[in-house]
Structure 1
Amino acid sequence: MAGTQFSSEALSNRLSSGVGKYNLRKEKFRLFSSLRRDEARQFVAFTDKKDLNHAAVVGGCSFRHRNFTTPLVTNRRKIRFPVVGDQLGSSEVEERIALQEEHVPDSAGNGAPGLTEVPFSKSHSPNVKAELLKLSIPAIAGQALDPLAQLMETAYIGRLGSLELGSAGVSVNIFNYISKLFNIPLLSVATSFVAEDISKNEIKASASENGLPEESTNGKPFDGVSERQQLPSVSTALVLALAIGIFEALALSLGSGLFLNMMGISSDSPMRIPAQRFLSLRAFGAPAVVASLALQGVFRGFKDTKTPVLCLGIGNLLAVVLFPVLMYSFRLGVTGAAISTVVSQYIVTFLMLWFLNKRAILMPPKLGSLQFGGYIKSGGFLLGRTLAVLTTLTLGTSMAARQGPVAMAGHQVCIQVWLAVSLLTDAMAAACQALIASYLSKGQYETVKEITDFSLKIGLFTGVSLAAILGVSFGSLATLFTTDAAVLGIVRSGILFVSASQPLNALAYIYDGLHYGVSDFAYAARAMMIVGAISSAILLFAPKAMGLTGVWLGLTIFMGLRMVAGYLRLRSRTGPWWFLHTDLQRAEVSLAG
């Protein structure tokens, strides 16, 4: 422990031969000592070696005495990184400060200049605003590709008849529910864990070779020359994706009848046979769907959102081409639609694996290096969170259906637009998560502060802009979905819900991305369960008195409480965001000769 800590006793012993005692100015010392020992080592590791040896930095120390920093860089112990489970709260920080100050010597008396005004978190001065936008734009496109392909599939199936459309619609809803429940947690956890692993490798390489860490490769072609990285988080994500995918495939194929019964499709329903056949075929694509989402999380961890867009674009384009060929030319009907989708899903997965294999070793040399514990713990939290979200939204749909078919149709149009426009801020939240996980692992707190501030501002701007656009155009936009006058009347009555809630939605998604970035999965899950319980209670009772307006009120409150929960965590001085409330701009150390 002593060999890896900036304690006053260790420094005094090393400097006693000629440098003399050192003096730490108390204000700056409180700041520097509030950092974890591991973060201090990261700071030294990230400081360029030539700067440590430069006379302008070390001051009056002779060459013989400047080498006191070398063991801290080259012989340090294994670096640990600041994930949420190991963050210091404010009380822990104050306690550690008090313990450190007991060892601080009084004034040394000599005024030889030393390590003065060392910027702590400005090592590389990254342009995080440009980097955030560069990651967000492709992420938006990537999130839009799958819904567009599903829309095309629905359009082709709709030409076959209402029976086929209804049966396929029920099956798709079952498939999507199961997929979101298990796949979204893996996607989110993989993003943070891979970003942290990459930062570990960069810090080790910087400390041992004095090389600058490799920045984002987003949009840059991979030349195949750089060494492939061995990242346990990547291998773990792939193994878990395979296991979860096989489980989903078996559950959906063997339990298709049970799921259809739960959806109200009885054995004597005319939709039962085509729906069960469609769901069983789609189940074969479950392993590919899980793997592709896990791989998207891995690429986000690499700060690369363009490669997934390329793969998704190729796969979904193939699906759109296959739909009419298999459904009409080969007369396979709904079965042809399912086959087209499954083939495209495997194409996407194989393409992503091919690109990933160029930059990372897919499987570890031994299974012992896999990180199942961290994935299962964090994924378990997010599984509960996803279940709370899906349950609340499903309850809202159920309460709307009880208002009658016209009300349900109008609600469906409103909710689809409401969810679709959220892709903008959801993609930005994913970019925030990747950047924060990366820079936080390097101890670059000022950069994390900048990302947090900018993402919240642009999220609010996006939300307000969407509110204005939808408030003006949604009435006309609704005619693209239906021409029924009664349904349009219901839709127009929901304009206030769709538009006014957009700022709340935008900030709620951004806060999710921020908390995932610091691996605060436990808080995200617990907060969402509480929010979901409150919102569900409102959804159960409000529609009875207010009709469809009560459903929209409950959903608006749901998003508002999500936003409030995210804000309160950010304002807390005892959680993983403690550094937002501390001045980390500069840490000054004076050496007395």
Structure 2
Amino acid sequence: MTQASATGLPSRRRHDREIIALALPAFGALVAEPLFILADSAIVGHLGTAQLAGLGVASALLTTAVSIFVFLAYATTAAVARRVGAGELGAAIRQGMDGIWLAILLGCAVIVAVLPTAPALIDLFGASDTAAPYAVTYLRISSLGIPPMLIVLAATGVLRGLQDTKTPLRVAVAGFVANAVLNVLLVYGLDLGIAGSAWGTVIAQCGMAAVYLVVVVRGARRHGASLRPDAAGIRASAQAGVPLLVRTLSLRAILMIATAVAARLGDADVAAHQIVLSLWSLLAFALDAIAIAGQAIIGRYLGAGDTDGARAACRRMVEWGIAVGIALGLLVVLARPLLLPMFTGDTAVWHAALPALLVVAVSQPLSGVVFVLDGVLMGAGDGPYLAWAMILTLAVFTPVALLVPSVGGGLTALWGAMTLMMTVRMATLWWRARSGHWLVTGAVR
């Protein structure tokens, strides 16, 4: 064995331990979060079709709002991890508090915007006359839970930056259990209907935010960090989040365009697209867990001024992304005949979805590289580049996707366009990773 391989093996093992220690709890927390909506749907579904339809419309709005503000977690993770790497724990928590104060301000602004406009928003999403009243009720009550939801995002970023993904997992699991119990008690026990479901979710979210705040406040007191709002710090957090907001909005636009194109292909194709997109999103949780580990690890290395460690960690995480992507792709290929009957008995939908799922399976290793490098550059605080790269990806994807109905190929061609989108993302991210321009060291980028 050469000296290089002898020193490389312990290094890979160290990176493996770090990645597993951070990624596994992160995966559990990611999976627990969508279970909130699933539990609500299962409980409200027994009230009637109109109530379930109303929940579906309101939940789509709430999910969109939360996904837009996910930069609160991403930007905070990178900033806090850099401070940790530099050995400045007090400053790390102080920077995390700036993100939490920003979350509170944004959450309150959303409440002010949603409460009076809820009926118009529900109407914009095309809710039926029977479902609309239930949707408005759920949206108005649930909007009160947006500030704690955003606090949870920002505080999760703080703990990830502190290299702690176990606490978010515990809080997510406890929140899911509390939400399910409260929903049953309020919907059926107190006969509050869909309003009870909304209140149950709000109470659970407030409880989760309270736990996070207790953890962060204790850390702040232990390290002498101020808890008071700092205008300059909040402004800096907002500025760091803007590029990631642009990135997220561009990605959401890609997904919306794909769904709109699928709708033009016919009912069977759009139904199949919804199934394929749901499975694609589920697979993304596993890959996103590695990306979250990347944000925390890369930020810490760069904060400590260790560019060699950052490069080595990046290479190892890319290898993990490819390996997990191959495993997920094989799983999809083997499980395709079993997955579709779980969603529908319509054979026309099966015929549309089966080849599209094969495209998804083949592209999973590619997706693994994309998710990992996305996380690495987020951890490096390279938000402006990520924003421009996603805008370029949107510009390439849009005309190709819009041509699918006229060119032909159906849903398979559309998911071919989605694979092209991921290929463009990989090319832009790979070029940036190889360039080394993201290797900016220090406590602050």
* Structures share fold, TM-score greater than 0.5: yes
Please give the alpha-carbon distance, in whole angstroms, between the structure 2 residues aligned to 1:393 and 1:328. 36
1:243 Cα deviation (Å)?
Answer: 0.3
Question: Does the CA contact (< 8 Å) of 1:571 and 1:577 recur in 2?
Answer: no
1:425 Cα deviation (Å)?
Answer: 1.1
Indicate yes or no: 2:54 matched with 1:192.
no
Name the counterpart of 2:4: none
Name the counterpart of 1:438: 300
Q: TM-score, normalised by structure 2?
A: 0.91
Indicate yes or no: 2:299 matched with 1:412.
no
* Structure 1 residues 412 and 192: CA distance shift in structure 2, 3 A: same
Indicate yes or no: 2:211 matched with 1:351.
yes
Structure 2 counterparts to residues 371-520 of structure 1, below 5 A: 371-520=233-382
Name the counterpart of 1:569: 432
Question: Does the CA contact (< 8 Å) of 1:543 and 1:550 recur in 2?
Answer: no
1:368 Cα deviation (Å)?
Answer: 5.0
Indicate yes or no: 2:48 matched with 1:161.
yes
Structure 2 counterparts to residues 88-107 of structure 1, below 5 A: none
CA deviations on 1:101-126 (whole Å, 9 max, x unpaired) are xxxxxxxxxxxxxxxxxxxxxxx999
Please give the alpha-carbon distance, in whole angstroms, between the structure 1 residues aligned to 2:352 and 2:200. 36
Name the counterpart of 1:179: 66
Name the counterpart of 2:7: none
1:246 Cα deviation (Å)?
Answer: 0.7
Name the counterpart of 2:414: 551
* Structure 1 residues 324 and 522: CA distance shift in structure 2, 3 A: same
1:566 Cα deviation (Å)?
Answer: 0.7
* Structure 1 residues 171 and 419: CA distance shift in structure 2, 3 A: same
Name the counterpart of 1:137: 24
Please give the alpha-carbon distance, in whole angstroms, between the structure 2 residues aligned to 1:463 and 1:286. 33
CA deviations on 1:519-562 (whole Å, 9 max, x unpaired) are 11100000001101211221222233223233212222112211
SS of residue in 2 equivalent to 1:570: helix
Question: Does the CA contact (< 8 Å) of 2:72 and 2:154 recur in 1?
Answer: yes
* Structure 1 residues 365 and 302: CA distance shift in structure 2, 3 A: closer
Name the counterpart of 1:223: none
Letter in 2 for 1:252: V
Please give the alpha-carbon distance, in whole angstroms, between the structure 2 residues aligned to 1:551 and 1:164. 33
Question: Does the CA contact (< 8 Å) of 1:538 and 1:554 recur in 2?
Answer: yes
CA deviations on 1:43-101 (whole Å, 9 max, x unpaired) are xxxxxxxxxxxxxxxxxxxxxxxxxxxxxxxxxxxxxxxxxxxxxxxxxxxxxxxxxxx
CA deviations on 1:172-192 (whole Å, 9 max, x unpaired) are 1111112211x2111110001
1:303 Cα deviation (Å)?
Answer: 0.2
* Structure 1 residues 265 and 368: CA distance shift in structure 2, 3 A: closer
Name the counterpart of 1:56: none
SS of residue in 1 equivalent to 2:70: helix
Question: Does the CA contact (< 8 Å) of 1:543 and 1:549 recur in 2?
Answer: no
Q: What is the RMSD of the two structures over their aligned residues, measured on CA atoms?
A: 2.2
Task: Judge which range, 327-336 or 407-416, deviates more.
Answer: 327-336
1:480 Cα deviation (Å)?
Answer: 1.6
Name the counterpart of 1:325: 185
Name the counterpart of 1:300: 160
Question: Does the CA contact (< 8 Å) of 2:296 and 2:379 recur in 1?
Answer: yes
1:353 Cα deviation (Å)?
Answer: 1.2
From 106, 131, 142, give the equivalent of 1:244.
106
Name the counterpart of 1:291: 151
Question: Does the CA contact (< 8 Å) of 1:145 and 1:313 recur in 2?
Answer: yes
Q: TM-score, normalised by structure 1?
A: 0.69
CA deviations on 1:156-177 (whole Å, 9 max, x unpaired) are 2222222212111111111111
Indicate yes or no: 2:172 matched with 1:312.
yes
* Structure 1 residues 139 and 382: CA distance shift in structure 2, 3 A: same
* Structure 1 residues 126 and 481: CA distance shift in structure 2, 3 A: closer
Question: Does the CA contact (< 8 Å) of 1:170 and 1:275 recur in 2?
Answer: yes
* Structure 1 residues 484 and 197: CA distance shift in structure 2, 3 A: same
* Structure 1 residues 157 and 329: CA distance shift in structure 2, 3 A: same
Q: Higher helix proportion, which one?
A: 2
Please give the alpha-carbon distance, in whole angstroms, between the structure 1 residues aligned to 2:44 and 2:301. 46
1:377 Cα deviation (Å)?
Answer: 2.1
Indicate yes or no: 2:247 matched with 1:360.
no
Give the number of equivalent residue pairs: 428
Please give the alpha-carbon distance, in whole angstroms, between the structure 2 residues aligned to 1:569 and 1:552. 26
1:363 Cα deviation (Å)?
Answer: 7.0
Indicate yes or no: 2:38 matched with 1:151.
yes
Please give the alpha-carbon distance, in whole angstroms, between the structure 1 residues aligned to 2:383 and 2:92. 25
Please give the alpha-carbon distance, in whole angstroms, between the structure 2 residues aligned to 1:555 and 1:393. 9
1:475 Cα deviation (Å)?
Answer: 2.1
Please give the alpha-carbon distance, in whole angstroms, between the structure 1 residues aligned to 2:136 and 2:272. 28
Please give the alpha-carbon distance, in whole angstroms, between the structure 1 residues aligned to 2:47 and 2:311. 54
SS of residue in 2 equivalent to 1:371: helix
SS of residue in 2 equivalent to 1:359: helix
Letter in 2 for 1:312: A
Structure 2: state its 5+ residue gaps: 1-10
Question: Does the CA contact (< 8 Å) of 2:84 and 2:92 recur in 1?
Answer: no
* Structure 1 residues 231 and 155: CA distance shift in structure 2, 3 A: closer
Question: Does the CA contact (< 8 Å) of 1:468 and 1:499 recur in 2?
Answer: yes
SS of residue in 2 equivalent to 1:332: coil
CA deviations on 1:382-440 (whole Å, 9 max, x unpaired) are 11111100011011111212223322211111100011111011011111111111111
SS of residue in 1 equivalent to 2:219: coil
Q: Name which one, 1 or 2, has greater alpha-carbon Rg.
A: 1
Give percent identity, aligned residues only: 27
